[in-house]
Amino acid sequence: MEKINMANPFSGEIRFDEPMARHTSFRVGGPADCWVRPGGEFPAYAPRLLAEARREDIPVFILGGGANLLVGDRGIRGIVLDTGRWAGFSPENSRENGGECIVRVCSGSSVDEITAAAAEKSLGGLEFLAGMPGSVGGAVWMNARCYEKEVADVLVETEFLDESLEHRVLGRHPGDFSYKKSPFQGAFTLILSAKFRLRPRLQEEILREMAEHRLDREDKGHYRHPSAGSAFKNNRSFGRSTGKIIDELGLRGLQVGGAAVAPYHGNIIINNGGAKAEDIRRLIDLVREKVKNTLGFDLEPEIIFAGEWP
Ligand SMILES: Cc1cc2nc3c(=O)[nH]c(=O)nc-3n(C[C@H](O)[C@H](O)[C@H](O)COP(=O)(O)OP(=O)(O)OC[C@H]3O[C@@H](n4cnc5c(N)ncnc54)[C@H](O)[C@@H]3O)c2cc1C
């Protein structure tokens, strides 16, 4: 790892054997061999780091807000490239005649913070994301969705490095995105920025809608314990939400070690204090097994498993 020639000057942070529990919303995960969080030099630094890592055959994992991840207790081999300080929001065109406004957002920006920044400028479109943990890059990669809307609904364009580390820009074409799927999954991608189409809206209406979503999340217990949000995807062919299916089988409160199905929400698995990643993974498997054996449904985890597993 020491062979990698880090860009100079470098305003970010680099740590070795960095516990990933510090960087995931589950608060679990073993050490990353090397964790790097560049600052404003990110767009120049990241391609060099990736190219040098590739030359040395060192794997690189891209980290957003860590809000949809379960990192194994053995941690992550190679480099974790944390996008968290590559943040910012810039309107690209003015809104003459009261028309729409395109804004470009750096991928490491917190989703919740950009919804607030848009509201400050009386721009509507991102309200549905208020209160959702994670980064813009992660939300685009996951095509995050809530309150009947998904990121692809407001996405205009994504700037990214592809598997060959070529710089590319992808417009949003119908069919590229679907339920919790984006064209960036399945092959190495580093999302650098995203453009969203926003529309002028009365600021008080924007703020009211955002407050309603935040309150709803609080009522549903989203912030009560460390978790990664929904553990499993919904599947329309099952006729009801995954949360309802898990409730029907009386699985709320089911525990493995320090992990539990939240007593207040069937589709949230929580770290009840002191959970290991292995506890959470075994609980996910147990819930899947019980649902499969009783109803014949195959639940698909929404959580991404990262790092080394026994
Ligand atoms: C309390 C709570 C509530 C939640 N509610 C919702 C919800 O309502 N709807 C929903 O969809 N999700 C929800 N989630 C899950 C999570 O917030 C989203 O999936 C979010 O979009 C993940 O973004 P992230 O930046 O944290 O991604 P991470 O967890 O860091 O990463 C997820 C995946 O994206 C990849 N990735 C991240 N950034 C980049 C990048 N810049 N370039 C390339 N790849 C990248 C990672 O490599 C990884 O494979 C919730 C989570 C929590 C904890």
Residue with tokens 């949230």, as numbered in its chain: 268
pLDDT per residue over 82-122, tens digit each? Answer: 999 999 988 887 665 567 899 999 999 999 999 999 999 99
pLDDT given for residue 96 in this prediction: 57
Which atom of ligand 1 is closest in space to residue 107's alpha carbon?
41
Q: Select from 23, 81, 132, 271 the residue to mutate for testing ligand 1; criterion: most ligand atoms less than 8 Å from CB.
A: 132
With beta carbons less than 8 A apart as the criterion, state whether 12 and 38 touch.
yes
**pLDDT score, position 2:** 43
113 labelled catalytic: no
pLDDT at 20 (0 to 100) = 98
Active site residue 302: yes
| pLDDT at site 76 | 98
**Environment class of 304 (CB within 10 Å of its CB; exposed 0-12, middle 13-18, buried 19+):** middle
Ligand 1 atom at minimum distance from 139 CA? 21
Ligand 1 pocket, residues with Cβ under 6 angstroms:
25, 62-69, 83, 107, 132-135, 137-139, 141-142, 144-146, 189-191, 222, 227-229, 304
138 C-alpha to ligand 1 centroid (Å): 4
Active-site residue among 230, 237, 241, 308?
230
63: CB partners within 8 A, 6+ apart? 23, 69, 80, 81, 82, 83, 84
- Closest residue by CA, ligand 1 atom 45: 138
Q: Which of 19, 58, 54, 53 is nearest to 35 (CA)?
A: 19
Which pLDDT value is given to residue 9?
77
Positions in the chain whose pLDDT score sits under 50: 1-4, 7
> Largest alpha-carbon pair distance within the chain?
59
| pLDDT value, residue 252 | 98
Residue nearest to atom 34 of ligand 1 (CA): 138
Digit-coded pLDDT (tens) for 271-299: 999 999 999 999 999 999 999 999 999 99
